[in-house]
Amino acid sequence: MTKLRALIFDVDGTLADTERDGHRPAFNRAFAEAGLDWDWSVSLYGELLAITGGKERMRFYLKQYRPDFEPPTDLDKLIANLHAAKTEHYKQLVASGAVPLRPGVKRLLEEARTQGVRLAIATTTSFPNVTALLQHTLSPDAPEWFEVIGAGDIVPAKKPAPDIYQYVLREMGLSAQEGLAFEDSHHGLTSAAQLGLKTVITVNDYTHSQDFSGARLVLNHLGEPEQPFTVLAGDAGDASYLNLALANHLHGN
């Protein structure tokens, strides 16, 4: 049987509820600052999450929801400027403590580090957002806990394409059979599963009714000894929180 060598984490919605409490308000701040009347409510943002990537999401919004908007001659520049401003607002929000880690994330990362299980990140969001989140929620050196941080525009096609997981595995010199992925969304599961990477899902308010068939386990969160998880699909045996023993079990079966 192939040994479990690496845990590969999605960021947005998986490590923290960054979409609702980080990206969404950051977009809104950037829009207001630019004098635009665009305002993304919690529920509208749920619809916009159909498109991964912040720049791609703004274009989708204009096309689907604001056909009245008269684009400037250089729309690419407007999108790029808004995205850069949004990244700065996101970093400030994260630094203010507005986006805590989800239950069990810190515990599992620390256990993996202690046990020599390799760590990586495979995300659609931009690299500076990842490092800001890790530094402010874990420790200033936390980005170095991860052997590879695969982020944003580093690959041509974002999730649900498999490119970012492919990139991470290649950089680590691992096969898909040697890893276990952690995701929160159908797009993320699709990205990992296309490579045969076994996947654990922790749902959130935006993703709980999505299709997760093919996931090894679907949970409300990773759980803590004093805060047991709820199993939504799959078999966690007697476990009440996800630790390396359960990760190995899920990987091996």
- Interface pick for ligand XBP out of 124, 137, 199, 243 (rule CB under 6 A): 124
Contact 195, 22 (CB under 8 A): no
Q: Does residue 103 interact with ligand XBP by CB under 6 A?
A: no
Instruction: Dig out the tokens for 167 from the structure.
Output: 């990139």
CA 50, 22, 88, 153 dihedral sign is negative
| Residue 204 interacting with ligand XBP (CB under 6 A) | no
- Please state, in angstroms and as integers, the Cα–Cα distance from residue 3 to each residue in 35, 106, 117, 180, following that order: 54, 23, 10, 11
Residue 137 interacts with ligand XBP (CB under 6 A): yes or no: no
Nearer to ligand XBP (CB atom), residue 192 or residue 236: 192
Contact between 217 and 229 under an 8 Å Cβ cutoff? The reply is no
Residue from 31, 109, 123, 169 in contact with ligand XBP (CB under 6 A): 123
Each as own residue / partner, the long-range contacts of residues 142-145 (CB below 8 Å, 24 or more positions apart, any chain) are 145/109, 145/113, 145/119
Site string for Mg ion, 180-209 (x = CB under 5 A): ----xx--x---------------------
Q: What residues from 13 to 52 belong to the interface with Mg ion (CB under 5 A)?
A: 13
Residue ranges that bind ligand XBP, judged by CB under 6 A: 10-13, 19, 23, 52-54, 123-126, 129, 152, 159, 185, 187-188
Q: Which residues bind Mg ion (CB under 5 A)?
A: 10, 12-13, 184-185, 188
